[in-house]
Each structure stands twice: as C-alpha cells, then as structure tokens.
A and B are shown apart, each in its own frame.
Chain A
C-alpha cells in the first residue's frame, strides 16, 4: 500500500547547540614535516616528550597521505606554531635539534582547534589533518544511534502520526502521537484543533471526542500492537484542494486571525489548540481516567504494600531523571499485563510530531517532561527545535529532551508542492 519504503527514512539527532558549519571550524597553526617512515616511531616518541600536543589532544600526531603511484607519505606534527606571526616558523630549541638531526624541513599547516562533535565535523577536520573522534556517549537513548529494532518502531510511530495528519477532511494538519517506549505503546494522540471544521460548538464535546479516540486507541494497544489509527478518525481523502492543505498551526501560529469570517460563527476556534497541546491534554485526561481514585491516595499510602508502590513510582521517576543527566540503564521495564503505574506527567515518554513544533508547543513539552521528540518536517520560520530557536539547548530550563528529525520523503504526505505554498 505504501509507496514509500521505510528504508528511505533516516533518523537524525538535532543537537543542543547550533553546529558550526563543518568547513568553518576554528583552526590553529602547527609546524609539521614530512618524515622518513622508518624514523616514525622514534620521532613520535621523542616529540610526545618534548612537544606534547597540549589542548589539541584530538589531533593526531602523524598523517599518512596516499600519493600517486601507490606510494604513501608520512608527515608528523613537530609542535604548535607560535601565535606571534614573526616567530611562526621558529621551533623550540629541542625540537629544532631533533629536526636538524633528522634533516626535516618544517612547514606551517592548520589543524582544527576543537574536537569534532559530529561525524560530519570530523570528516571535514580530517581533510586538514587527521583527528580522532569520539561520538557522544551521554544520556538519552538514540543520540548515539538506534538499533535496527528501535529504528523500525520509531518509524512506525511516525507513520501513525503522518496518517493522523492526513486524516482530517482533506486538510493536512500537524499531528502528535505520544508513546511510552518502555512498552512500545501509544498513549495518546492529537491533531491541530484550531478550527475543528465540523466540531461541535462546545468544548465538552470536543473533549469527549478526544477521549473516545484515545479509548479506542487503548483497545488497540491491548493487543500489543500500535496499529494504524485511521479508523478511529473520520476517514478522509487526503490531498483535497491545495488551499486547504496549509493548516499546520505550528508553521504559522499567527495565521488563525486571518481566517475568513464567512463561516466563522459556525465553528469552534481556539488559536492555541496545536497538536502537541491537544495531545498533552489528552494524555492528562487519560491519566485521570486510568487513575480516577488518586484522590484516595491516602487509603493506599496507609498500607505498606501500597506505599512501596508509590515509592517505586517515585524511584522510577528519579531514574528517568538520572537517565537524562547521567548515563544509566533504561527505565525499569514494567510488566505490561498489570495495571500500569501512574505516570508522572509524560516522564519517559516520546512524542512524534509531523512538523517541528513552534515555541509554545516546544515549551509545553518541556513542562510536561517529554523525553524525546521526533519530528518529520522542519518548520523553517517558527520551529523551536533548531530552526528559529533551539529550546533543547536552553540551559536554564529544568528539563531537557532529546530531539530527532526523521527524514521522511515528502510524498508521505501526498502534498509535495503544496507545502511550499504555505
């Protein structure tokens, strides 16, 4: 059925800091020389003693260059060059002696000043002079790459989100799917509801809609399969007239006020009901439904057994926090058949969004303690996770999620061309 295969979909981590364009990394000058390969070991040992590469440990001492005719040429860094231009070519005395005794001819060259933070940077660095690269090993799963299995499930959840985005009445909107990755289950979902075209007038009904949707989803999940959700939403023919397909609220949050007012009185309008916000609300609703008696928590807490349950819950939460800050094991795997523990907000959960969220949604996801965000399409004018802002790198915030983009072919939305007109 799908014309796009998942093989084409790639998951990229969107880092906390704006990466420097790989070819514009700061450099420092060093003095190097071509050497005779048979002296390599001796020279390197000696140089490491008399002129260690302080502050540029990532730079390799030796460079091997392949020349024409299958020959190789070895060069070695003698020392860092003086920052004083007039002394650029002068070597410290012991290095000079070494150089003289091996008849080296020093030349000035550039190496990258800082260790690479990504593979792309590293590849670029090596064009100047080889460096070593250690991929980040910290915190949240996936930053260092996904296993085949994880990738597949990530892509399948994104597909659910994309189907949702297409499921409106010919209108492509943003869609959000919140997933508990520890049990591979969809917790809830939401679509943009700024204008719910055929939505009932009052909010209660809208909210009931949400609840029904997620209830249906729950029943899907009980089979352990996060299958498609299209059937729980009004089925619709995607790619209707082009003018209708630009309703993604995060792409231009200010657009609502320009809405034609001809039908204005007949529909529900809430300019802030972006998909992520709707999904957050829906997940909170779900928690309230699943844990309706939490108002009676004291009954439980009087019993030792129950209290350990609460303790476990708190511990779990702490573990998740620790996961973010240090490297730690996965959150405890919960038995899927038992009643799930009451989650603390969306701690430990992932959200899949078809479009990169705007700053309002991105901050709401911080407040709700989402662990990872996956989005498919960037939001060049208003995106808060790398495009216009980079909220994941805002150090003052009390929570940080990891952000990934899943490169999805535009055909996945059947709106190639339309998006550009937005």
Chain B
C-alpha cells in the first residue's frame, strides 16, 4: 500500500515535489486549479506541467489585455482592487451596465482534460520527437521516468501514466473524488483486475507513493476553493452593479 510518511522521503523526492508545488502556485496565479507536476529522469527534471484547462493549448496564455478594465475579468466578490481598476477604465458613464463575474473562466474553460500530468507528458513527447527518438526509445525513456505531482493523479491521468509505462509516481494529497491511484480506482496496480489475457500487450504497473508534502498541496487547493473556483459550476457569481451602486462603491473606496 502507499506509504503516507514524509520522514522516509529522500531529499531528492522533496526537492522535486517542491518544484511541483511551484508549478501548482503558477496555476493558482492563473486561476487554474492549483495542481502541478514535474517529471524526472536520472535525478534531473526533464519536464514540468500544471493545470491548463482554461488556456489555449499552444501555450498561449489568454492575453492580459492592455486595457485596464480587463482586470475586471478576474474580479471576485469583495475584491476592491478590481473595482479600482474599473474606475480607471473608460466606462461609458451614462450607460447602465451589468458587470457579471461568472466564474469568468466559464468563458474560458476550454478543455477540462488539460491536467498538469498531460501538459508535462505532451511537452516530453514533443521534446523526444524533436530529438528523433524511436517508439521503442520513447517507451524505454518513460520506463525510467518518475512523476512528482501535488495531487493524486485522476483516473484519466493514472490510466495515461500506466499506458506510457512510467516507472513511479509520487503525489502530495489524495484525490477523494477522482483519484486513480488508490482513492477511487487503483490503476497503478493491475492485480485487482487482470484481463483474461491472450496475446495482448501487458498492462504496466507503476510504483505509487502518496502523502509527500500533502499539507502544502492541500493548502494551495484550499486557497483556490476558498477564493472560489471560477470554473466551478457551483461558483457562479453575479454582481449586478448599476451606475448608482457603482457610485456607492466608488465613494466607499475613496472614503
């Protein structure tokens, strides 16, 4: 069973997990669910990734607009800074308008499958392809790679990691809802559900260790959900601000 002790971890494991946490923080700053990961081979980080469900795929971050009022997009209830940003923007003052902060990213959530692991895997495959590795070399490479991820891989990612034949996975906190490495399903170990077999290729297991820097990982997630998941369904906010209300707010801010 997975060990959930940190004491036994090598300093290398902790170092890599810290890098994964950095990735998660990067996600948090972009209003993504803060999960990050790194892939290491021979003690070196060879790829990293973080959740990227709301951005365009080709690495293009949704451009922060030059116009100031774009900041409003990231407004949350009680977020005075963005109200200030609003103030400075060239709002049509006579216009009765409604500002809607709907988990703004509702607009942007393009592909809910772009998890940190998938990002890192894609980066790696691209890299290896550029260096002209053959299929068998790619397979060999994966079998020498370790993944460090801040949250237990979901069912999709755990399956993907098994398909690739990764060597081992270290994760931070467990994923009670979607976890594919023990929480909901155990895709890292095939012992429970072996296929009837035949001449099919052998499914691949990987070693999985949870609980590495779990507190840090959880606190990032907590921060994200406390401030409200802009992508979440249950978290749609509507702030209707009429021009009068806006005046009020303005007054409050300046007062």
Interface of A is mostly: helix
Complex contact A277–B113 (CB within 8 A) = yes
Q: Taking the nearest CB of chain A, how far is it from the CB of B69, in angstroms? A: 6
Given A304-B97, A363-B180, A298 and B155 contact (CB-CB distance below 8 Å): no
Given A272-B163, A394-B184, A380 and B156 contact (CB-CB distance below 8 Å): no
In the complex the two chains form, what is the Cα distance from A190 to B233 in whole Å? 28
Contact with B along A380-413 (1 / 0, CB 8 A): 1110000011010010111000000000000000
Given A261-B136, A280-B111, A301-B98, A360 and B163 contact (CB-CB distance below 8 Å): yes
In the complex the two chains form, what is the Cα distance from A288 to B134 in whole Å? 33
Which residues of A from 262 to 295 have beta carbons under 8 Å from B?
Answer: 264-265, 268-272, 277, 280-281, 284-285, 287-288, 294-295
Which residues of B from 129 to 187 have beta carbons under 8 Å from A?
Answer: 129, 132, 134-139, 154-156, 159-160, 162-165, 176-178, 180, 184-185, 187
Nearest A residue to B60 via CB reads A288
Known: A285-B57, A298-B72. 5 other contacts (CB 8 A): A254-B203, A295-B63, A298-B70, A359-B187, A398-B178
Residues in A with CB closer than 8 Å to B201 are 252, 254-255, 257-258
Q: Taking the nearest CB of chain A, how far is it from the CB of B215, in angstroms? A: 23
Chosen A-B contacts, 11 in total, with CB atoms closer than 8 Å, are A203-B129, A204-B58, A264-B135, A271-B163, A297-B104, A303-B98, A307-B97, A345-B110, A359-B185, A360-B160, A389-B193
Complex contact B113–A344 (CB within 8 A) = no
Complex contact A321–B233 (CB within 8 A) = yes
Residues in A with CB closer than 8 Å to B135 are 195, 256-257, 259, 261, 264, 269
Complex contact A254–B165 (CB within 8 A) = yes
Q: Is B62 an interface residue (CB 8 A)?
A: yes
Q: Is B191 an interface residue (CB 8 A)?
A: no
Of A204, A253, A258, the contact of B163 (CB 8 Å cutoff) = A253
Which residues of A from 203 to 232 have beta carbons under 8 Å from B?
Answer: 203-204, 207
Of B100, B137, B163, the contact of A301 (CB 8 Å cutoff) = B100
Residue among B100, B102, B104, B164 with most chain A CB within 10 A: B100
Residues in A with CB closer than 8 Å to B236 are 314
In the complex the two chains form, what is the Cα distance from A389 to B162 in whole Å? 16
Of A255, A359, A369, A398, the contact of B200 (CB 8 Å cutoff) = A255
Residues in B with CB closer than 8 Å to A367 are 112-113, 154, 156
Q: What residues make up the interface of B, taking CB atoms closer than 8 Å to A?
A: 56-58, 62-63, 65, 69-70, 72-73, 91-92, 95-100, 102, 104, 106-113, 118, 121-122, 125-126, 129, 132, 134-139, 154-156, 159-160, 162-165, 176-178, 180, 184-185, 187, 193, 195-196, 198, 200-204, 233, 236, 238
For the complex, count residues of A whose C-beta is within 8 A of B: 69
Complex contact A368–B160 (CB within 8 A) = no
Complex contact B154–A363 (CB within 8 A) = yes
In the complex the two chains form, what is the Cα distance from A304 to B209 in whole Å? 52
Residues in A with CB closer than 8 Å to B200 are 252, 254-255, 381, 422
Complex contact A304–B98 (CB within 8 A) = yes
Q: Is A364 an interface residue (CB 8 A)?
A: yes
Nearest B residue to A387 via CB reads B195
In the complex the two chains form, what is the Cα distance from A360 to B163 in whole Å? 9
Residues in A with CB closer than 8 Å to B136 are 257, 259, 261, 264
Of A202, A313, A358, A396, the contact of B177 (CB 8 Å cutoff) = A396
In the complex the two chains form, what is the Cα distance from A14 to B178 in whole Å? 22
Residues in B with CB closer than 8 Å to A83 are none
Complex contact A369–B107 (CB within 8 A) = no
Residues in A with CB closer than 8 Å to B155 are 359-360, 363, 366, 391
Contact with B along A228-255 (1 / 0, CB 8 A): 0000000000000000000000001111
Interface of B is mostly: loop
Residues in A with CB closer than 8 Å to B95 are 302-303
Complex contact B62–A288 (CB within 8 A) = no
Q: Taking the nearest CB of chain B, how far is it from the CB of A45, in angstroms? A: 51
In the complex the two chains form, what is the Cα distance from A363 to B95 in whole Å? 46
Residues in B with CB closer than 8 Å to A329 are none
In the complex the two chains form, what is the Cα distance from A391 to B154 in whole Å? 13
Q: Taking the nearest CB of chain A, how far is it from the CB of B142, in angstroms? A: 8
Q: Is A68 an interface residue (CB 8 A)?
A: no
In the complex the two chains form, what is the Cα distance from A277 to B157 in whole Å? 12
In the complex the two chains form, what is the Cα distance from A367 to B109 in whole Å? 11
Q: Is A317 an interface residue (CB 8 A)?
A: yes
Complex contact B73–A298 (CB within 8 A) = yes
Given A264-B136, A344-B106, A284 and B57 contact (CB-CB distance below 8 Å): yes
Residues in B with CB closer than 8 Å to A281 are 57, 111
Given A270-B125, A302-B91, A345-B112, A380 and B196 contact (CB-CB distance below 8 Å): yes
Contact with B along A183-195 (1 / 0, CB 8 A): 0000000000001
Q: Is A28 an interface residue (CB 8 A)?
A: no
Complex contact A203–B126 (CB within 8 A) = yes
In the complex the two chains form, what is the Cα distance from A291 to B157 in whole Å? 28
Nearest B residue to A307 via CB reads B98
Q: Taking the nearest CB of chain A, how far is it from the CB of B79, in angstroms? A: 14
Residue among A296, A318, A364 with most chain B CB within 10 A: A364
Q: Taking the nearest CB of chain A, how far is it from the CB of B114, in angstroms? A: 9
Q: Taking the nearest CB of chain B, how far is it from the CB of A269, in angstroms? A: 5
Residues in B with CB closer than 8 Å to A270 are 122, 125
Given A265-B134, A272-B121, A344 and B109 contact (CB-CB distance below 8 Å): yes
Residues in A with CB closer than 8 Å to B165 are 254, 257
